[in-house]
Amino acid sequence: MQMVNVCTVGRLKPVIRSFSLTALFVFGLAGGARAHDPEGELFFAFQWPDHNLPVIDGDLSEWDIVPPNPYTIFNDRLFANLGRPEDEGVARGDMDASSFNVRAIVGYNATNDQLYFMSEVFDDFHNRDQVDNCLWDDDEWEVRINAAHNPFDEIRPTEFGGPEAPYNFGFILLAAPPIEGGAVGMGGYAFHIPWSDSDVVQIGSGYWEFAYTFDGEMFGESTYYYELRIRPFESGPEVVNSADDITWKDVEEGQIYHINMNYSDFDVDPEPGQYDWWGVSPGPAHNNPTTDFVMAPLEDVHPTAVEVTSWGLIKAAGAHQ
């Protein structure tokens, strides 16, 4: 699937489940984790076993095996960012769940060096109407990853890239469903939008994969189910001609990445800047990945043979409808 150009930019207190997680938690707070925000907090990415990787199809049933603690993110973990002027100073998690409600999980697999993301988003009004396909001007989901785990002030010395800026974290912007002549997403280096034109980050390139389903009204009260797989990278040049130009990340247990997930909520047709935008990272701007996610040890959780068979049959049947 070839994507089109988009417009130009203008309390986790985790329940510790094992000695391994405890050790990682102490390590992070003792200084092993570099500058991060929220300060003193660690989030955890669930380790997917090799034999049971999730299929990226918008069916989130496989994620049912993930223990709720310490992996699941709900509204109370989200910060209000940018958005309406009256949102300035809004407390963390202070949104109306009857209007907007989120459940999200991050996962990874060390064998295939992939990160996995899911988000279940209820919205009383799903807005997707920007004819210029500015994804961030609609209800959308953004995933931003700094696998190099640099403090933010070390990765943005110049505004929107430039020859002095090290391009070492990436983004995926997603807005579904697709609109006529538009695409559901784009990807590339943060602060270097033209990089998104590279074939390396197009859907189907192998760099990332996204799917969604929904219940309810497509453009009304609904719950959208988002699923994303992405291969993280450490760095790359200003111009990317092939995957060989990129320094890819070898994903391993115990690593700590800076990750952010953002959610925009347009309930009306607003003027620029008149919307709600919620993120796992509090700032210093709305979309910067500053939150520490630890690649957690493998959990002793496995689906039953019946569950595995059921998922396979359900998905196979759906593919042939």
- What is the DSSP code string of 149-193? ---GGGT-SSTT--TTS-B--EEEEE-SSPPTT--SEEEEETTBG
Residue 13, domain member (yes or no): no
Residue 240, domain member (yes or no): yes
Residue 1, domain member (yes or no): no
CB 126 within 8 A of CB 218: yes
Distance in angstroms (rounded) separating the CA atoms of residues 60 and 39: 31
Distance in angstroms (rounded) separating the CA atoms of residues 299 and 61: 18
Provide the CA 43 distance to its chain's centre, in angstroms. Answer: 13
Strands 43-47 and 291-295: parallel
Residue 258, domain member (yes or no): yes
Residue 32, domain member (yes or no): yes
Distance in angstroms (rounded) separating the CA atoms of residues 209 and 114: 11
Count the helices and strands in the chain (H runs, E runs).
3, 15
φ/ψ of 104, rounded to 5, equals -140, 150
Q: Would you state the structure tokens that stand for residue 184, as one six-digit string?
A: 């559901």
Beta bridge partners of 226: 119, 212
Residue 303, domain member (yes or no): yes
Distance in angstroms (rounded) separating the CA atoms of residues 247 and 263: 29
Q: What is the pLDDT of residue 95?
A: 83
Residue 162, domain member (yes or no): yes
Q: What is the pLDDT of residue 5?
A: 34
The vertex-281 CA angle with 184 and 213, nearest 5°, equals 30
Domain count, the chain: 1
Q: Rounded to two decimals, what is the model's pTM?
A: 0.80
Q: What is the pLDDT of residue 319?
A: 40
| DSSP string over 84-142 | -GGGTTPPTT-S-TTTEEEEEEEEEETTTTEEEEEEEEEESS-----TT--GGGSS-EE
Q: Would you state the structure tokens that stand for residue 295, as one six-digit string?
A: 């690649």
The list of the chain residues with pLDDT below 70 reads 1-35, 82-89, 131-133, 150-169, 181, 187-205, 238, 268-275, 283-286, 301-321
CATH of the domain at 49: 2.60.40.1190
Q: What is the pLDDT of residue 168?
A: 57
Structural domain containing residue 54: 19-319
Contacts 24+ apart (CB under 8 A), 299-308: 299/17, 299/46, 299/47, 299/67, 301/65, 301/66, 301/67, 302/49, 302/52, 302/65, 303/52, 303/62, 303/65, 307/65, 308/52
Residue 12, domain member (yes or no): no
Q: What is the pLDDT of residue 286?
A: 55
